[in-house]
Amino acid sequence: AQTVTQSQPEMSVQEAETVTLSCTYDTSENNYYLFWYKQPPSRQMILVIRQEAYKQQNATENRFSVNFQKAAKSFSLKISDSQLGDTAMYFCAFMKSAYSGAGSYQLTFGKGTKLSVIP
């Protein structure tokens, strides 16, 4: 079974500054995906960024980037130029890849980090 750990329950950052959210995971799978989801006060789950484990290059989506360290099983999210709209809960999630064989591909989530962007 997979586990995902987010050790920072709450964080805050000044508007326009940079913040990094931490995530570690444990798995025996070799092929998998890692995700960061954002959940604003509206409660909608929004995919922020996705990383495929077999890719060494870190994923980037505009102001969002990850630092993926496969050997250390670490997957942190960096938000640059923080904006007020970034205020939300952020969840790190794991999903095994279809290349891992048969089975289900459900998401396993961490407990989340509540990020507040301060004007």
Binding site for other proteins (CB under 8 A): 33, 37, 43-47, 50, 52, 91, 95, 97-98, 103-112
Q: What length does the chain have? A: 119
**Cα distance between residue 72 and residue 89, in whole Å:** 24
Report the nearest approach of other proteins to the CB of residue 72 (Å): 23
Q: Which is nearer to other proteins, 19 or 38 (CB)?
A: 38
Q: Which is nearer to other proteins, 86 or 112 (CB)?
A: 112
DSSP H helices in 1-119: none
Q: Which is nearer to other proteins, 56 or 104 (CB)?
A: 104
Residue 44 CA: distances (Å) to CA of 40, 86, 97: 7, 13, 24
DSSP output for 1-12: --EEE---SEEE
Q: For residue 53, give the DSSP letter.
A: T
Report the nearest approach of other proteins to the CB of residue 35 (Å): 8
Report the nearest approach of other proteins to the CB of residue 109 (Å): 4
Report the nearest approach of other proteins to the CB of residue 55 (Å): 12
